[in-house]
Amino acid sequence: MATESVWQTVGPFFHEALPWEGGENMADASSKGERIRLVITVTDGNGDLVPDGMFELWQADSFGSFDHPDDDRGQERDANFSNFGRIVIDKDNRFVVNTIIPGRVPGQGNTLQAPHINVAFFARGIVRRLISRIYFDGQSANDEDPLLNSIEPGRQPTLMARESKTVPGEWHWNLALQGDEETVFFSL
Amino acid sequence: MALITPYKDETEGVQPPLLYQDYKSTLLRAPLKPPVPLPQTLTEVTGPVLGQERLRPNDNDLTRQGKAPPIGDRIIVTGRVTDENDRPVRNTLVEIWQANAAGRYVHPLDTRDVPLDPNFTGGGRALTDDDGWYRFITIIPGRYPWANHDNAWRPAHIHFSLFGPSFVTRLVTQMYFPGDPMLPYDPIYLQVPEAHRDKLMSNFDYSLTDHEIGLAYRFDIVLRGRAQTPFEEGDHGH
C-alpha cells in the first residue's frame, strides 16, 4: 500500500490558480436559512494581522445536508447554496464570506452536532493547511456538541464566532496562529 | 442515520512539521499547541465535488493561454493520482501554479528585476481521467531568490493543489525536477523527512515524451484512502 504524498506550503503566489470569482458567496438571496456575513481575521505570534493567505470553508446547508455522494440520506437539500467557499483576503486584511448558519449534522454516537463550519487556512509559512472549526456563540446546541465539549473549557471560545453588536447578521471570528488565545486546531 | 466510511489515519512520520526553524515564515505562524484529533463525521467524509464547470479553455495547456506561446523550454507534466489503497482518484480537480521561465510570478508582490511574460500566467487546471491520470503542457519554471536567508534560491518547482473525494483528502504540494542543484539548500524541500522526499520529485519519462511538444516529467500523487469498513454514525470509536 502506498503512503500519502507530502504537504508543502502554498507560498505567497497562488493567486493565478486557486481563487475564483464568487468563491466567497456560498449563499445568496435565494438560499434558505439564516443568512450571515462572516468576517474572519488572522493574527500571528506577534498579534499582528496576517496580510495574506486563503480560506476554504466546508459546511452543511440549512437542512444539514451536503451535496456529496457520501451524504446519501435522501433528505432535503438547498440547490441554491454552495457547501464550499474559497476566500481570499480583502484590502483591509479580512476574509469576508456570505453564507448561512448551517443546519445540524450527525456526529459521533447518536448525537447531532451543533452548527459548525470546517475551515482550512493556507498561507506562506503554513506548511500544511490548518484545520479548525467555527461554531456560533449563543446556539443552544453548542452545549450538547460532543467535539466542542471534549475541548478544555478555556479554549472553547477560540472556536466561537460572535455576532456584531452594531451590524446585525455580521459575525466575527479571529484565527490566532499563536499566543495565549491560540485557536484550537485539529488533526485529521 | 448516515453510513460513514472513514479514511485511514494519517501515517506518522511522513508529513513535514509545522514549525521548522530554517523556514523563517513558520516561526510566527506555526501553531505551538498540539492539535486536537478531529473525529470523522459526515462533515469530514464529504467535500467539494468540483468538475468541468471549474475549467476554462486551455486550462491544462499553459502555453496556449496568451496571444503567443510563452518563452521557455516546453514540457509535459503528467502523472497518476491514486489513493492509499492503490485505487485511481477519478475526476478530481488538479490545480497548478508556477513561475515563468525567468523565475517570476504574475503577482504584485513579485517585483524582481527579471521579465514578466505577457503570454504566461503560470496557472493551470485539469481533471483526472477514469484511471487517475492528469496532464499539463507548460514550461520549465525558473529559479528565483527569496528572503528566507542569505543567497536563498528556490529550486525550480510547480505547486500542486488537489481535492480528492472528501474534506480529509485535500493536498497541496510542490513538484521538483531531478538533479536541481538548489535542492540541498532549500528548507521547504528539506523540511520533509528524508525518507519521503522522493514523493516531491518528478522523473523524466521518455515513454511519455512527445516529439511535437517536449520532454515529459512524471509526477504521481497519492491521496488519503478509505479504511476498509464503513460504519453507522452511532458506533464510532475514533
Per the prediction, chain A carries an average pLDDT of: 97
Output the pLDDT for position A105: 97
Minimum CA–CA partner of A156 in chain B: B36
Per-residue pLDDT tens digits for B164-211: 999 999 999 999 999 999 999 999 999 999 999 999 999 999 999 999
Q: Is B31 within 8 Å of A182 when comparing Cβ atoms? A: yes
Spell B64-95 as b/e; 16+ CB within 10 A means b: ebeeeebebebbbbbbbbbbbeeebbeebbbb
The residue of B5, B43, B146 whose CB has the most chain A CBs within 10 angstroms, and thus the best one to mutate to test that interface, is: B43
**For chain B, first and last CA: distance in Å?**
18
Given a cut of 80, whether residue B229 has pLDDT beyond it is no
Residues of A in contact with B222 (CB under 8 A): 2-5
Q: Using CB atoms, pick whichever of A9, A17, A69 lies closest to residue B97.
A: A17
Please tell me if residue A2 touches chain B, with a CB cutoff of 8 Å: yes
Residue B141 binned pLDDT confidence (cut-offs 50, 70, 90): very high
Give pLDDT, residue A1: 72
Residues 142-181 of A with CB under 8 A from B: 147, 150-151, 177-178
Q: What are phi and psi of A45, to 5 degrees?
A: -65, -20
Would you call B157 a catalytic residue per the annotation?
A: yes
**Which of B7, B23, B105, B189 is the catalytic position?**
B105
pLDDT of residue B236: 44
**C-alpha cell, B57:** 479553455
Q: Using a pLDDT cut of 90, give the percent of chain B over it.
A: 92
- The CA radius of gyration of chain A, in Å to the nearest whole number, is 17
pLDDT single digits (tens) B54-90? 999 999 999 999 999 999 999 999 999 999 999 999 9
Catalytically annotated residue among B74, B104, B125, B154: B154
Instruction: State whether B125 and A17 contact (CB < 8 Å).
Output: yes
The verdict on whether B105 is a catalytic residue reads: yes
pLDDT of residue B2: 64
Q: Judge whether B224 counts as a catalytic residue.
A: no
Contact B122 A60 (CB under 8 A): no
Q: What is the largest CA-CA distance in chain A?
A: 55
* Number of inter-chain CB pairs under 8 A, A vs B: 237
Digit-coded pLDDT (tens) for A86-102: 999 999 999 999 999 99
